[in-house]
Structure 1
Amino acid sequence: MDPFTVIAMLAIHLLGTAGLLFLVWRLMPAAPGLAAWWVASGLFGLAYLVRLVVGMEHGDGVGVAADSLMLLAVLRFGDGVREFTGRAAWKPAATFIAWALAVSLEAAATVAFGAQGRYTVLNLAIGGLYAHLAWTIAVEVGRQPRPLRAPLRLLALLMGGLSALTLVRAHSLFADGMAVAFHGPLAKVYYMYASTNAVVVGLTLLWLLFLRLNGQLADLAARDPLTGVLNRQGLDERVRRHFERPNAAPLTVMLLDIDHFKQVNDTHGHATGDAVLMAVARTLVSHLRTGDFVARVGGEEFLIGCAEGAHPDDAMVLARRLNEAVGQLQVAAPGNAVPVVCTVSVGVSGRVASRADWEAGTRQADRALYQAKADGRNAVRPAVVSHAA
């Protein structure tokens, strides 16, 4: 297959991928990385079209301008990867400096050595950027949720392969001149790989987006929409996952109830009541330790799973800390200059060593909570564990 046809196919693949990603972006404008990805694919496809129009081996200003689009495309693709994975994005000034430096070096090489200098510098720059992308993605594999790891590994492999071929091509151009740019075995392998890579990368990005969206939907289904903590469904799943781990640590169940919450709603309105619930939930989450979790299990009732600590009374220490922290809250009430304060009653279970004991532990915490309320509320009470429990 002649070089013109292969590069035309590559341009079509890139523009087709850009169009597909653009359509998905229109439906999911907030999807992380998607806007950068469709722009990057479109810029790359446009650059190849310009090459086909002006002639692939010319080293004039139009060719350098087309190459600058390629460099910008790789930088934008990297921005999308960093946005998707949650890494800190490059500052616009840093991106511009990297782009301007590469374009300036290529322009200088074009003036000094013509098309050979232009393509050598371009391939060195793009190959280096691909290598950095492959490394960035590989580092992120272990930091991302398990379902995302397989497509990220594939993406890192694709970028790594493209980097290696591009750098080999740069060396070949430097050593052998423009004769190997579009003719010979290396040129055929390079452009066939790049054309196939454009299709596979586009599908891999859609795979990543689907998995991320699916995870977000699952997370939404597992969380209380008002407070953002686990709901009952999410709680069941969290407990199941905890006890399925090898050598799972025992848990302590805490049931926490906002005192006189109905009075808050009746006096200040449901909007203020919602604000109180959200403030209490934020306070609980901010004070939990690694391995602990919190769920809303009733109108004003929260359940906390407390991972076993180094000392037997860690759960009671945490319960008292939560009781004190909530008691210090001051929640603004619309139309009322005086903020709303609230207290909580907390019941703490005994040690729950397995999933089979979870319901028994919850009943223990419930009885302890009832005792805290009977003792005047704003109190923490441990369960009285008996063999009958």
Structure 2
Amino acid sequence: MLCAHLLCFAVMFLLISKRLHGQKMGMDLFALGNFLLGSAYVLQLLEGGPAWSPMSVVNHTLTLASPVVYWLGAMRFFGHAVPLLSPLLVFAALYSLAQVLVQWSLGPVARYAMLSGGSALLFFVMALTVIYGARTFAKDLYGEMVFFAALISGICVLNALKFMKLLDGGLDALQMDRQFQLVFYIYMSFLATVLPPSIVWLVLRRLTDQLRHIAARDPMTQLLNRRGLTEALQLSFNQRRAEHAHLLVVDVDHFKRINDTYGHHAGDTVLCRVAEILQATARRGDLVSRLGGEEFAVICLHTDFPGAMHMAERLRAAIETQTIDIAEGGHPLQCTVTVGVSQGFADAHALEAALQQADAALYRGKAAGRNRVETAGPSMATASYA
């Protein structure tokens, strides 16, 4: 039954990886790991018991290679481009050679103990990696990582106990302890049943997060779009309810003239460069968004009105002093922006009113000559920018 679970899930992982195309998220390696472990159990059944033969050497190598492949698959799931073929072949060759040397020098008990001890060590490293990931690069999957760490720790402990039993009583003692063998088999069957659906759940979770990320981002500049800005602002206010924010609407001056003179490709280059400058100049934690066309928004969180005005001036000056290389014109281009600043607000539902205020201030700045910062007065809450 355990072999059937492993091999069936190996086929399922492989089919899923084929559907993921360029971004396989390690599913092809999880399929390979299941196949290696399933094949090792098939060879173990064919052996019928501890033995010294080429089949046994292959069995032990496949058994210990499977957690290595699982670990590499996990690294790929989290976006690390780790190689597979060369480290796997090197590991298989070295461990096969180590088996021959240990068998000839120390005997069969030492070879089987080496397998259990090596398995315990590898699963211990995997558990530590998962715990580290839950605290660093996989904070968004904290609950899932703790769950995986607990499961991996269980198989680590069982292999460590098996290692000690082998050293204490040899192969005969292990064969006689039927209760331990039953617990080991039940736990492995449990893992083979629970882990594959859990891995599929992680892949679906990651795909869903990616779709949510795409839906919240402007495809050209990768800044937040209007929807993403609203969601991020709501999240910020939920975390710090008493803080105030100010909205800055940033509009590129004479953008139509840039498009008409240099072409739309140059216009896109200008927008992308302005987005980079806004992102680099804004404080950490501030929200930067492209509202549409040549209009951007920066929400300064946890600041007062003088702080928002200072940030608006910093953004304006940073863009004015930058040159933008465009292929069509043959020379660097400089552009300016006008910035409208809203009154303070402390609720995501007040974003629309803040947009109206900042747009009205922006209109005044455009009418006054552009390349300037304008603020919204108390009476400007219902004005609009056309």
**Residue deviations 1:226-263, cap 9 Å, x none?**
21111111122122222222434211100000111111
Letter in 2 for 1:259: D
Q: Would the aligned equivalents of 2:65 and 2:91 in 1 still touch at CA under 8 Å?
A: no
User: 1:199 is matched with which residue?
Assistant: 193
Greater CA drift, 157-166 or 267-276:
267-276
User: 2:19 is matched with which residue?
Assistant: 27
State the Cα distance separating 1:19 from its structure 2 match.
Answer: 0.9
- 2:179 corresponds to 1:189: no
Q: In structure 2, how many angstroms separate the alpha carbons of the residues matched to 1:145 and 1:96?
A: 29
**Residue deviations 1:342-362, cap 9 Å, x none?**
221111122212334333322
State the Cα distance separating 1:275 from its structure 2 match.
Answer: 2.0
Q: In structure 1, how many angstroms separate the alpha carbons of the residues matched to 2:288 and 2:210?
A: 19
1:236 counterpart (223, 230, 239): 230
Secondary structure in 2 aligned to 1:313?
helix
The 5 Å alignment of 1:12-161 reads 12-29=4-21, 30-86=23-79, 103-143=96-136, 148-161=141-154
Q: Would the aligned equivalents of 1:227 and 1:281 in 2 still touch at CA under 8 Å?
A: yes
Number of residue-to-residue matches in the alignment: 380
2:289 counterpart (291, 295, 300): 295
1:364 counterpart (357, 370, 373): 357
Letter in 2 for 1:247: R
User: 1:284 is matched with which residue?
Assistant: 278
Per the alignment, do residues 248 and 229 of structure 1 end up closer, same or farther by CA in structure 2, a change over 3 Å counting? farther
Q: In structure 2, how many angstroms separate the alpha carbons of the residues matched to 1:361 and 1:335?
A: 38
Q: Would the aligned equivalents of 2:279 and 2:288 in 1 still touch at CA under 8 Å?
A: yes
- 2:273 corresponds to 1:273: no
State the Cα distance separating 1:151 from its structure 2 match.
Answer: 2.5
**Residue deviations 1:161-180, cap 9 Å, x none?**
11111111111122121124
State the Cα distance separating 1:312 from its structure 2 match.
Answer: 4.8
The 5 Å alignment of 1:244-283 reads 244-283=238-277
Letter in 1 for 2:341: V
State the Cα distance separating 1:291 from its structure 2 match.
Answer: 1.9
Greater CA drift, 98-107 or 161-170:
98-107
Return the TM-score normalized by structure 1: 0.88
State the Cα distance separating 1:220 from its structure 2 match.
Answer: 1.0
Q: Would the aligned equivalents of 2:3 and 2:38 in 1 still touch at CA under 8 Å?
A: yes
Q: Would the aligned equivalents of 1:85 and 1:140 in 2 still touch at CA under 8 Å?
A: no
Greater CA drift, 96-105 or 27-36:
96-105
Q: Would the aligned equivalents of 1:308 and 1:314 in 2 still touch at CA under 8 Å?
A: no
Per the alignment, do residues 318 and 150 of structure 1 end up closer, same or farther by CA in structure 2, a change over 3 Å counting? same
Secondary structure in 1 aligned to 2:189?
helix
Greater CA drift, 200-209 or 63-72:
63-72
What RMSD, in angstroms, separates the aligned Cα atoms of the two structures? 2.7
2:221 counterpart (227, 252, 268): 227
Secondary structure in 2 aligned to 1:340?
coil
Per the alignment, do residues 31 and 316 of structure 1 end up closer, same or farther by CA in structure 2, a change over 3 Å counting? farther
Q: Kindly, what percent of the aligned residue pairs are identical?
A: 32
Q: Which runs of 5+ in 1 are unaligned?
A: 1-8
Secondary structure in 1 aligned to 2:241?
coil
Secondary structure in 1 aligned to 2:292?
coil
Greater CA drift, 368-377 or 294-303:
368-377
Q: Which runs of 5+ in 2 are unaligned?
A: none
Q: In structure 2, how many angstroms separate the alpha carbons of the residues matched to 1:185 and 1:235?
A: 58
**Residue deviations 1:146-171, cap 9 Å, x none?**
76333222211111111111111111
State the Cα distance separating 1:182 from its structure 2 match.
Answer: 5.0
Q: Would the aligned equivalents of 1:255 and 1:348 in 2 still touch at CA under 8 Å?
A: yes
Q: In structure 2, how many angstroms separate the alpha carbons of the residues matched to 1:150 and 1:161?
A: 17
Return the TM-score normalized by structure 2: 0.89
Q: In structure 2, how many angstroms separate the alpha carbons of the residues matched to 1:348 and 1:77?
A: 52
